[in-house]
Structure 1
Amino acid sequence: MNRAMIMIFLLSLAMFLTACGGNEAEQDTQNQNTDDSTQSESANEEAQETNATAEEEVLVSLKNPEGQVVGTATLTEEESGVGIKLEGEDLPPGSHGFHIHEVGKCDPPDFESAGAHYNPTDAKHGFDDPEGPHAGDMKNIEVAEDGTVTADVLNEMVTLKEGTDNTLYTEEGTALMIHSDADDYKTQPSGNAGERIACGVIGE
């Protein structure tokens, strides 16, 4: 009788130890699956964040000195710079200077609060100056006789990526500006482009 009881005890003990070993293996497998799932989710989130940055669009409303919206610009981060699609109305017909300025403030009526052209590389103004242009210099826009404008501009000297060189997201911010006259691409410091007639803060 004692021998039978001992055998039963030993068998029970063996079964118990086997079950514990199986549970530990199962737990290890579950933990591994959880780790793999967490890593996969993290990778997916990083990929989504990267895609969101690459596809980011920034809308800028440009107002005249009377506070009326006369233009809307869509800024997009592209491989070779920042693409700017401008659509406007109620503007004076003709060629107009179109620049990025160094301060994100558009206080009417003269918009002098936006400072000078955005120039993080301390260059000279103008595409025709051998020591230029400013990072904020861009080609003139052409307003039709009915006061409307549609323009696509690529600025290869700036970026929307924060914390990098020539970013448009500086501590003071930046602004888009339309001038009353054409930029001659050479006169210092702003191309003799005349008054500031429309201004919009980037990223406001």
Structure 2
Amino acid sequence: MPRKARLNLVVPLGVGVVMVGASALALAGGGGAPAGAEIRNVAGQTVGSLQVEDAGTGKSKITVNVTNLPAGYHGFHVHAKGVCDPTSIDPVSGTPFFSAGGHFDVGGHSHDHHTGDLPNLLVGADGTGTASSVTDRFRVAQLFDADGSSIMIHALADNFANIPDRYRNAAGEKGPDAETKKAGDSGARIACGVITKN
């Protein structure tokens, strides 16, 4: 009996973007089984879900669905630790979910080249949003290092450290300041989900 060929198509949805980074081609690790997260706000209410799966050829597909969030663009990143404690407060900025650490990164990149940097998440006036993107910056298996990883939604849009030279930082130098280089001025952490294997 002849075998049927199977074709997998990846179609970006919503504001999805295919992200490509040359340095990501050097990342080690295999694809891995699907992973996901239940995303909760500071009050512990579920506001969304995340799915991460192998997209083939060393890429991962990220799909997110959210509800009951403020309208507009939100910074959306994989963070370095799999701990989403809303009572863990950043002593400098006062933002919750400090327990999740900084952006997930393999190789010491700066923002917007962190391994976990993803396109902004657009939420509509009704508080809902859906997005899908494909990245070659990480593979599913890499999300499960010794301390795990989490997905984070921020209060503001991520500017991806895209600050023209006409702007000055606190020291009077041209270009982005330290905060912009760290997280793209995406503001407070408003929702977080620990990434687990499905």
Once the 2 structures are TM-superposed, how far is the Cα of residue 54 of structure 1 from its aligned partner?
A: 6.6
Task: Give the one of 154, 157, 160 matched to 1:179.
Answer: 154
Q: Once the two structures are superposed, what CA deviation does each residue of 1:182-204 show, in whole Å capped at 9, x if it has no partner?
A: 00001211111000001001116
Taking the aligned partners of 2:160 and 2:32, their CA distance within structure 1 comes to 31
Taking the aligned partners of 2:49 and 2:156, their CA distance within structure 1 comes to 19
Which one has more relative contact order, counting CA pairs under 8 Å at least 6 apart? Answer: 2
Task: Give the one of 152, 155, 168 matched to 2:143.
Answer: 168
Q: Once the two structures are superposed, what CA deviation does each residue of 1:55-74 show, in whole Å capped at 9, x if it has no partner?
A: 83222100000000101011
5+ residue gaps, structure 2, are 1-29, 88-95, 162-179
Percent identity of the aligned residues?
36
Taking the aligned partners of 1:180 and 1:55, their CA distance within structure 2 comes to 31
Q: Which amino acid aligns with 2:38?
A: S
Q: Once the two structures are superposed, what CA deviation does each residue of 1:16-73 show, in whole Å capped at 9, x if it has no partner?
A: xxxxxxxxxxxxxxxxxxxxxxxxxxxxxxxxxxxxx978322210000000010101
Partner residue, 1:197: 190
Partner residue, 2:55: 78
- Does 2:118 match 1:138? yes
Taking the aligned partners of 2:102 and 2:43, their CA distance within structure 1 comes to 21
- Does 2:44 match 1:64? no
C-alpha change, 1:151 and 1:173, in structure 2 (3 Å) is: same
Taking the aligned partners of 1:55 and 1:159, their CA distance within structure 2 comes to 7
Partner residue, 1:153: 133
The alignment partner of 1:75 has SS state of strand
User: TM-score with structure 1 length normalisation?
Assistant: 0.66
Task: Give the one of 105, 111, 122 matched to 2:108.
Answer: 122
Q: Which amino acid aligns with 2:150?
A: A
Taking the aligned partners of 1:59 and 1:202, their CA distance within structure 2 comes to 5
The alignment partner of 1:188 has SS state of helix
Q: Once the two structures are superposed, what CA deviation does each residue of 1:92-122 show, in whole Å capped at 9, x if it has no partner?
A: 0000000000000000141000000011210
Q: Once the two structures are superposed, what CA deviation does each residue of 1:156-199 show, in whole Å capped at 9, x if it has no partner?
A: 111113xxxxx111101100000000000012111110000010
Q: Which amino acid aligns with 1:72?
A: S
The alignment partner of 1:154 has SS state of strand
Matched positions, count: 141
Task: Give the one of 52, 69, 87 matched to 2:65.
Answer: 87
Taking the aligned partners of 2:97 and 2:135, their CA distance within structure 1 comes to 22
Taking the aligned partners of 2:55 and 2:192, their CA distance within structure 1 comes to 23
Q: CA RMSD in A?
A: 1.6
Q: Which amino acid aligns with 1:183?
A: D
The alignment partner of 1:113 has SS state of helix
